[in-house]
C-alpha cells in the first residue's frame, strides 16, 4: 500500500483524452507518465506538457514498466485490442465507454482482465456524475420508499458535430447508440440497481446524409419492478439543457447566441474537411471547456413512493409528499473527480466501482437490445445484467 | 341555415360542466336552454343562472324539443346510455372524453349517431387546445419536413385529487388511463395524423390505497413512420407544469405555496368525506378557475426534419436549423372556444371536426391497448384508427 500517485499511461490523445485533461491536471492522486498516439503533433504536445514517454503504438505503451494503469481513450472499435494488450501486460485499465462494439469482444475483454487479475473500469460515463451518485444513494437508503419509474431524455445536436466517417456507420460503433445511449443506460441502470429485465425500443435513422441511428426511445423494466423511459435525439433542434438550468453536458454554462452552431459549422463541408475539423477538437489543438457545474446527461426524474428526485447539474431536487428541498452535490475541485476516485480505489485499495467490465458489458447488451428490438418490433429479454454494489436482490 | 345561437342542453352538472361554464358564458353562438342533473341543488343553480328547464333525467332532457344539441358531461360509465338516448332523439352530441369505457359501447354509440344522422363530437379534449391545433397545421404544411418523433409527458397529482370510489376502479373507467391518457393520445394522434399502427406500454398501480393504474409510459408508431413516446404519472410529486411556464392544465398561473396541496387535503379523509369533497368541485358550489393562457396537457415536443416544435400554453416555439422563433396561439376570448367552434360548425354547417365519435373510439382503443400491452408484455396492433381531416395517406 502506498499513497504515491497512480502512474497512468494514456492510449489515444483525441477528444476523449482532451476532455479528461482538466481532471488529470487537478488531481495529485494520479500522474500521467506515458502516452501512445499515432499523430506526431499529439505526442509532442504530451511530452511538452507532461514529460515522460510518448509512443507510436499502444503495445509499446503497455510494455513501459513505469505504467501502473492505462487509460484507453482510442476510438471505440480499437478498445478490444488495446484492453487485451493492457491486460496481458498486467496493467489496470480505465477504458472509455462503450467497453466494446460487439458483445463477443466485450466478453473477451472481461475475461482477459479477470484472468490477468487487473481491474477493468469503464469510464468516464455519466453514471459517475456526482448528482447521479447522490440520487443512487438516496434511492438505496429507502428513505423515499420504492423506486417506481425513471424518465431520462436528452436532446442534442450530436449527429451534426464533426465526425470521422466511421462515426456515422452503426456497425463500427457510430451513431447515437454506442456513444450516447450507453450514458443514459448507465445512468438509469445505476439508479435502478443494475438488473434490467427487458427492453422495447424504436430507433430513427432520419438523415440520409448521415446514415446511422440518430435517435431512439425505449422502455425498460427492472427486476425490482421499476420501469424506465429513455429517449435520445441527436438530431435535435430543441436543446433539453434548457431544462438543466442552461448548463451543458460538460458542466459549462451555455452561451447565449450559440443557437444552431453545430449545423451552421457543418454547412458546405465535405467529409474530408469534416474529419479535419474533428482533429481541431483533439489534444494539442483544441479549445478548453470551462466547467463550473457537474456534468450531466439531460433531464432525469426518478419517481419513488414518497418523493420524486429530479437531477440537476448541482444536485437533487427532492419533491416530497408535502415539501420540497434541494440537496447539493458539490462540484469540483475538477470535473470527473469520481472517475479518478474509482481508479485510485482500484489500483491502491483493490476495490472495484460499480462501473466494472461486467457492468460495461451489461450496458452494451442494452445498446444492442435497442437495435434488435427496434428491428424486430418486439421486446428483448436481457441476459447479461449485473447489480450495483449496494443493491440487494429483492427476492 | 341560421346564425341563431345553438340551443344546447346539458346532461350532468358536475365538475366537467363547471369547467365549461366560462366557455359557454362568453360565447354568444351557443345558448344553454335546458339541463339534467340528479342533484336538486345543481338544478336550482342552473335555472337561477340560465333560466330554461332543469330535468331529473337525461331522457326528459332528450325529449325537450327546444334542444338542438346535448352536451353530455355525466360520469364516464353513463356516456353510453346518454349518447344513445340523445341520438335516438335526433340531437347532435358533444360528449366528454372518454367516449366510453368499453370498445363495444363506443362502437354502438358511433353507429347510433350515424344511423340518426346526428353529429357526435368527443370533447373537450386537449387536442382542441389552440397550440395543438397550430402545431398540427404547421406539421401538415410540410414547411419543416417530415414529423419524426413526438415526446409527450405529464406529471400531476391526479390520483390524489378528491375521487368518487368508482374513479379508483379501472374496470369502471377509473385511474389515469381513461381519464388522462386519453388526452395525451388525442394530442399525439392529432399531431401525427391519427393513424397509429401499434403501441407498447408499461403501467404502474403503485398505491394500494388507491388501487388503479396511476401511471403509464408507452411507445407508439404511426403509419407515417412517426414514433411517439407518451408518459403520464398521476402519482407525481414533481410537477411538469414548471416546464410549461408555470401554467396549469386549465391555463391558470400556478400559485406559489400551493406545493403538495392535493396530498395535504386528502390526509385523514375517509372515502365518504372524500366523495363529499368532490361535490364541492361541482356546479353551484365550486370555485372558479381563472385562466389567462391556453389549456395544455404537459410538455410536448414534435421533432421534424428541419425544426422541433415545442408546445407552450401560449403557442409554439419553433427551433429551426439555424434560428428559433415563437408563433403565438392567441388565448380567448374564453378558454375552450375551439370546442364550441366544432359544435357550431357541426350543427349549423354540417361540418365535422377531427374529434368525431370514430376519432374518440380510435383513441379509446389506444387506452385499452396500453392496458393489454402492459399485461402481456407485448406490443399491440391497432385496428380502429382514423385519420385527421387534413392528413393524406402516405401510400
Tell me the per-residue pLDDT of B106-147, one tens digit each, with 9 for 90 and over.
Answer: 999 999 999 999 999 999 999 999 999 999 999 999 999 999
Instruction: Residue B147: count other Cβ atoms within 10 Å of its Cβ.
Output: 26
For residues B253 and B205, membership in a common domain is answered with yes
Query: Would an 8 Å CB–CB cutoff place A74 in contact with chain B?
Result: no
pLDDT, position A285: 64
Tell me the sheet residues that pair with B6: B30
Interface A-B: count of C-beta contacts within 8 A: 130
Instruction: Kindly list the residues from chain A whose CB atom is less than 8 angstroms away from the CB atom of residue B376.
Output: none
A104 with A159, same domain: the answer is no
What's the pLDDT tens digit per position in B190-240?
999 999 999 999 999 999 999 999 999 999 999 999 999 999 999 999 999
Q: What pTM did the predictor assign?
A: 0.95
Instruction: Write out chain B's pLDDT in tens, 395 residues.
Output: 577 999 999 999 998 999 999 999 999 999 999 999 999 999 999 999 999 999 999 999 999 999 999 999 999 999 999 999 999 999 999 999 999 999 999 999 999 999 999 999 999 999 999 999 999 999 999 999 999 999 999 999 999 998 888 889 998 889 999 999 999 999 999 999 999 999 999 999 999 999 999 999 999 999 999 999 999 999 999 999 999 999 999 999 998 778 888 898 888 788 888 888 877 766 766 567 789 999 999 999 999 999 999 999 999 999 999 999 999 999 988 899 999 999 999 999 999 999 999 999 999 999 999 999 999 999 999 999 999 986 444 44
User: How many angstroms separate the first and last alpha carbons of chain B?
Assistant: 38
Closest Cα of chain B to A88: distance in Å?
A: 44
Say which CATH number the domain at A91 has: 3.40.50.720
B379 touches A at CB < 8 Å: yes
What is the spatial distance between Cα A144 and Cα A15, in angstroms, rounded to a whole number?
A: 40
Structural domains counted in chain A? 2
Within 161-220 of A, beta carbons closer than 8 Å to B belong to 198, 200-202, 204, 206-207, 215, 217-219
Q: Cα(B139)–Cα(B192) distance, rounded to whole angstroms?
A: 8
Inside any domain, residue A200: yes
pLDDT attached to residue A268: 79
A201 and A314 belong to one structural domain:
yes
Query: Which residues in chain B are closer than 8 Å to A146, comparing Cβ atoms?
Result: 206
Q: A156 is written with which cell numbers?
A: 442534442
Instruction: Specify if B246 maps to a domain.
Output: yes
Q: How far apart are CA A54 and CA B381, in angstroms?
A: 59
Residue closest to A309 by CA, chosen among A156, A195, A186, A145: A145
Alpha-carbon gap, residue B94 to B120, rounded angstroms: 6
**B34-53 pLDDT, tens per residue?**
999 999 999 999 999 999 99
- As for the ipTM of the complex, it is 0.94
DSSP secondary structure letters along A304-343:
ESSEEEEEETTEEEEEESS-EEEEE----SSTTHHHHHHH
In a domain, residue A202? The reply is: yes
Are B199 and B309 members of one domain? yes
Q: Is residue A351 part of a domain?
A: yes
Q: How close is the nearest chain B Cα to the Cα of A395, in Å?
A: 18
What pLDDT does B394 receive?
45
pLDDT at B392: 47
CA gap A311, B152 in Å, rounded: 19
* Residue A180 shares a structural domain with residue A301: yes
Q: Residue B289's pLDDT is what?
A: 76
Residues of A in contact with B207 (CB under 8 A): 305
Cα separation, A135 vs A106, whole angstroms: 28
Q: How far is A268 from chain B (nearest CA, A)?
A: 14
Looking at the fold, whether B115 and B218 belong to one and the same domain comes out as no
Question: Does some domain include residue A360?
Answer: no
Where do the H-state alpha helices sit in chain A?
A: 15-26, 40-50, 58-63, 79-88, 103-116, 130-141, 175-176, 182-192, 261-266, 271-279, 337-349, 357-376
Contact A219 B217 (CB under 8 A): yes
Does residue A29 sit within a domain? yes
Of the candidates A160, A170, A166, A125, the one whose C-alpha atom is nearest the C-alpha of residue A16 is: A125
Q: What's the domain range around B141?
A: 127-334+365-381
Which residues 95-154 in chain A show a CB within 8 A of chain B?
146, 148-149, 151, 153
pLDDT of residue A1: 56
Query: In this structure, are B54 and B141 located in the same domain?
Result: no
Answer whether residue B394 is part of any domain: no
A164-215 pLDDT, tens digit per residue, is 888 899 988 899 999 999 999 999 999 999 999 999 999 999 999 999 999 9
Quick one: B148 and B62 in the same domain?
Answer: no
Reported as a single tens digit per residue, the pLDDT across A211-261 is: 999 999 999 999 999 999 999 999 999 999 999 999 999 999 998 778 998
B81 lies in the same domain as B221: no
Closest CA to B236 of B169, B158, B144: B158
How far is B177 from chain A, CA to nearest CA, in Å?
A: 17
In chain A, which residue's Cα lies nearest the Cα of B243? A243
User: Residues A120, A201: one domain?
Assistant: no
With a cut of 70, which residues of chain A have pLDDT below it? 1, 281-282, 284-287, 390-395
Amino acid at each position: 500500500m502506498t499513497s504515491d500517485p497512480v502512474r497512468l499511461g494514456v492510449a489515444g490523445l483525441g477528444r476523449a483524452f482532451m476532455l479528461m485533461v482538466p481532471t488529470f491536471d487537478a488531481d495529485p492522486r494520479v500522474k500521467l507518465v506515458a502516452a501512445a498516439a499515432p499523430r506526431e503533433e499529439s505526442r509532442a504536445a504530451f511530452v511538452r506538457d507532461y514529460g515522460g514517454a510518448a509512443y507510436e503504438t499502444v503495445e509499446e505503451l503497455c510494455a513501459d514498466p513505469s505504467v501502473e494503469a492505462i487509460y484507453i481513450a482510442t476510438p471505440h472499435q480499437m478498445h478490444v485490442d488495446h484492453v487485451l494488450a493492457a491486460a496481458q501486460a498486467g496493467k489496470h485499465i480505465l477504458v472509455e465507454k462503450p467497453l466494446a462494439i460487439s458483445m463477443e469482444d466485450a466478453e473477451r475483454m472481461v475475461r482477459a482482465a479477470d484472468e490477468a487479475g487487473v481491474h477493468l473500469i469503464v469510464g468516464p460515463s455519466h453514471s459517475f456524475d456526482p448528482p447521479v451518485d447522490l440520487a443512487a444513494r438516496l434511492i438505496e437508503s429507502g428513505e423515499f420508499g420504492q423506486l417506481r419509474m425513471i424518465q431520462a431524455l436528452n436532446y442534442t445536436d450530436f449527429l451534426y458535430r464533426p465526425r470521422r466517417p466511421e462515426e456515422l456507420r452503426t456497425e463500427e460503433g457510430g451513431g447515437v447508440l454506442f456513444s450516447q445511449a450507453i450514458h443514459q443506460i448507465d445512468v438509469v441502470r445505476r439508479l435502478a440497481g443494475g438488473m434490467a429485465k427487458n427492453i422495447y425500443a424504436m430507433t430513427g435513422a432520419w438523415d440520409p446524409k448521415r446514415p446511422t441511428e440518430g435517435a431512439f426511445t425505449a422502455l425498460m423494466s427492472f427486476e425490482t419492478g421499476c420501469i424506465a423511459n429513455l429517449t435520445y435525439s441527436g438530431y435535435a433542434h430543441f436543446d433539453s439543457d434548457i431544462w438543466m438550468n442552461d448548463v451543458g453536458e460538460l458542466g459549462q454554462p451555455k452561451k447565449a447566441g450559440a443557437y444552431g452552431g453545430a449545423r451552421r459549422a457543418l454547412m458546405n463541408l465535405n467529409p474530408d474537411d469534416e474529419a479535419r475539423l474533428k482533429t481541431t477538437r483533439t489534444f494539442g489543438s483544441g479549445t478548453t471547456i470551462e466547467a463550473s457545474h457537474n456534468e450531466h446527461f439531460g433531464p432525469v426524474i426518478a419517481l419513488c413512493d414518497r418523493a420524486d428526485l429530479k437531477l440537476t447539474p448541482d444536485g437533487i431536487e427532492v419533491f416530497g409528499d408535502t415539501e420540497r428541498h434541494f440537496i447539493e452535490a458539490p462540484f469540483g475541485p475538477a470535473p470527473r473527480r469520481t472517475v479518478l476516485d474509482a481508479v485510485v480505489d482500484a489500483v491502491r485499495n483493490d476495490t472495484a466501482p460499480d462501473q466494472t467490465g461486467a457492468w460495461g458489458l451489461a450496458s452494451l447488451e442494452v445498446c444492442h437490445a435497442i437495435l434488435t428490438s427496434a428491428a424486430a418490433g418486439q421486446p428483448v429479454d436481457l441476459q447479461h445484467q449485473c447489480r450495483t454494489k449496494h443493491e440487494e436482490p429483492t427476492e
